Amino acid sequence: MSGKQIFQTSSKKRWYAFSWMSSALVIGLIIGVICVVYTLGKIQIPPFPTINTNTALTEKSTARLKKSKQFKEFTIVKSELEKIKRDRELKHLKHIGTKDRINMGFYVSLWSNEVREQSLSDLRRNIGHLDMVAMESFFTVPNQDTVVDKADTAALKVIHQYKRKAIAQISNFSGNDFDGQTVKAILLNPDKQQRFIDDILLKVKRNGFAGINIDFENLQLDDHQPLNDFMAHIYTVFHTEGLLVTQDISPENDDYDPISLQKYNDYIILMAYDQHSIESNAGAISHQAWVEKNLDELCNKIDADKVILALACYGYDWPKDRVGKTLTYDNAVILAHNYNAKITFDPQSSNLNFSYTDGAGMRHDVYFTDAATYFNLIRKADDWGLAGIALWRLGSEDARLWSFISRSLNQENLKKEPFDFRKISQINVGGIQYIGDGEILDLVNSPAPGEVKFTYDPSTLMIQDQVYVKTPSNYVIKRFGERDKTVVLTFDDGPDPTYTPQVLDILKKERVPGAFFLVGVMAEKNMDLVRREYQEGHEIGNHTFFHPDMSTIGPNRVKFELNATRKIIECITGH
């Protein structure tokens, strides 16, 4: 047996290769470290605006307060609040759905301040579930060939922040009706049409929209050709710029020629609602069979993957023999709760209804839609392979919708992964009901959830029936203190170590009481001033701890914001 080992060799090739590879690895590692250090050195994180909390505490009583049981309870709540705040800053809502459809929402902001707030709050909460938002933005001007720009910049900011597509809705709604004459004049005049399209394109680019949504109604044309030609023109112009073109059409309406229009639209939105409108007699808003019939007719004419089904996410309240009024879902169920009315689900229409008699003895009939309506319609949309669904309108829907909108509801997927109806068996409503008059508010009723029981059809995988076992309630706030020629002085966001003492001196000298709404983080650092405010007889209010925008944070964060501030005030004042 030779003394030479199996892998032993007199050649130095392997040593040279090992040395070369080791050197290359070390050099690469050094270069990588240098690149990382250089990159980190270049990153600049802009500082957040801060509240001056570095005020000195000199009173001996401060030390005693910090040893108290109440202060310890406060610090526990504060630490939880700070954790929530950190988590919010680190996390962003992500779209993680398993569905193939487009989820679209109609954003409405111009009806009233209340409607705008509903829409904007809803958009902020649920933008992660949406792919595209059609914003009420541009309106025709009577007898002109331009549009007026009323786009909501706050909503645009939210949509762009989450990298979703915002498209501008162009409407001929003017005053109290749709202006068909102005649209007709534009469509029949090539020069007017060109100026009109140029003006829209300019404003779309200026606002950063990804495209447009044409909503022309009540057209007064003798035939389809003028509208078809206009859509062909604007489609060519906008596609050259890489912009989307979509169009709304009404069911059972001869104003539109879907076969031609599909060639000049990326998507056609079927407005499958208002089967019964505020000016008609009371009845279902979007009967399941009626929607399916109109979908069937449309999809026999054009490809299903061009169609987006718009859902009715609202209700109507019809007083007897009078014009109705629009209700949100929350409005409807709270109304039923307040009048102790029984809500009935119609299995044929998948719509709901109830009746009540108001204080003047007037009978009302209410029809509306809810999560069961949406579930059954989305089921059909997914089975038919539609391009997507759209919500008319954001802010008025049954919020339980968001628990299933980001998953596929077609038959195949539901068989693989059945839907858990416990997710939508509890109803929670938002909104506030006010009673009385005055600037002072008193909370007299807190929200209580409602309960629904479902019957599920295993053959169709649709909701066959539902029973509202308990209707939900919302906040009820009593207004009082109305008095003529009276002024209340309020001071917010303190106490401030510089200005609050001066304000207190003036109020004491003039013998005038005030109201101080405290920010918890400042109260903690200025306990002596909080105590002085209380001892001198002023009202003290809770203005949250970190003073966030309350419309952008969740209920858990709100609870901690208010609770932390309440505890520090109780700790200092003993009340």
174-198 per-position pLDDT tens digit? 988 999 999 999 999 999 999 999 9
Which residue blocks in 127-214 are alpha helix, DSSP H?
153-161, 180-187, 190-207
What type of residue sits at position 525? K
pLDDT of 94 reads: 30
Assigned architecture for domain 67-82+487-573: Alpha-Beta Barrel (3.20)
pLDDT band at 293 (very low <50, low <70, confident <90, very high): very high
Q: Read off the pLDDT of residues 337-377 as tens digits, 9 standing for 90 and up.
A: 989 999 999 999 999 999 999 989 999 999 999 999 999 99
Average pLDDT over residues 12-16: 64
Cα–Cα distances (Å) from 265 to 227, 260, 296, 351, in that order, read 12, 9, 19, 31
What type of residue sits at position 111? W
Q: Read off the pLDDT of residues 398-408 as tens digits, 9 standing for 90 and up.
A: 999 999 999 99
pLDDT of 38 reads: 65
What type of residue sits at position 388? G
Contact 514, 487 (CB under 8 A): no
Q: Is 356 exposed, middle or buried, given 0-12, 13-18 or 19+ CB atoms closer than 10 A?
A: middle
pLDDT of 13 reads: 64
Q: Is residue 95 scored above 50 in pLDDT?
A: no
Q: Is residue 466 scored above 90 in pLDDT?
A: yes
Tokens describing residue 112: 């009233």
Average pLDDT over residues 270-283: 97
Q: Which run of H or E residues covers position 326?
A: strand 325-327
Tokens describing residue 517: 């709404």
Q: Is residue 513 scored above 70 in pLDDT?
A: yes
User: Residue 555: which of 424, 401, 402, 428 has the closest Cα?
Assistant: 428
* pLDDT higher at 481 or 284: 284
Q: Is residue 137 scored above 60 in pLDDT?
A: yes
* pLDDT higher at 440 or 569: 569
Cα–Cα distances (Å) from 174 to 57, 147, 194, 244, 469, in that order, read 61, 11, 22, 25, 43
What type of residue sits at position 301? K
Average pLDDT over residues 276-288: 97
Torsion angle of the four alpha carbons 523, 525, 528, 530, in this order, in degrees rounded to the nearest 10: -10
Q: Is residue 564 scored above 50 in pLDDT?
A: yes
* pLDDT higher at 90 or 3: 3
Cα–Cα distances (Å) from 67 to 64, 82, 575, in that order, read 5, 21, 17
pLDDT band at 68 (very low <50, low <70, confident <90, very high): confident
Q: Read off the pLDDT of residues 418-443 as tens digits, 9 standing for 90 and up.
A: 999 999 999 999 878 777 778 778 88
Paired with 426 in beta bridges are: 451
Q: Is residue 96 scored above 50 in pLDDT?
A: no
Q: Read off the pLDDT of residues 473-511 as tens digits, 9 standing for 90 and up.
A: 998 888 887 777 788 899 999 999 999 999 999 999 999
Q: Read off the pLDDT of residues 229-243 as tens digits, 9 standing for 90 and up.
A: 999 999 999 999 999
Pairing of strands 539-542, 515-518: parallel
Paired with 270 in beta bridges are: 249, 309
Cβ neighbours of residue 483 under 8 Å, at least 6 residues apart?
438
Q: Is residue 49 scored above 70 in pLDDT?
A: no
Contact 216, 227 (CB under 8 A): yes
pLDDT of 36 reads: 63
Q: What is the mean pLDDT of the chain?
A: 89
Edge-to-edge order in the sheet of strand 426-427: 426-427, 450-457, 462-470
Contact 179, 173 (CB under 8 A): yes
User: Residue 187: which of 220, 236, 158 has the closest Cα?
Assistant: 220
Determine the Cα–Cα distance for residues 350 and 457; give it in Å rounded to an integer: 13
Q: Is residue 115 scored above 80 in pLDDT?
A: yes
- Percentage of residues of the chain with pLDDT beyond 70: 88
Q: Read off the pLDDT of residues 15-32 as tens digits, 9 standing for 90 and up.
A: 666 676 777 676 777 777
- Percentage of residues of the chain with pLDDT beyond 90: 73
The whole-model pTM stands at 0.70
pLDDT band at 58 (very low <50, low <70, confident <90, very high): low
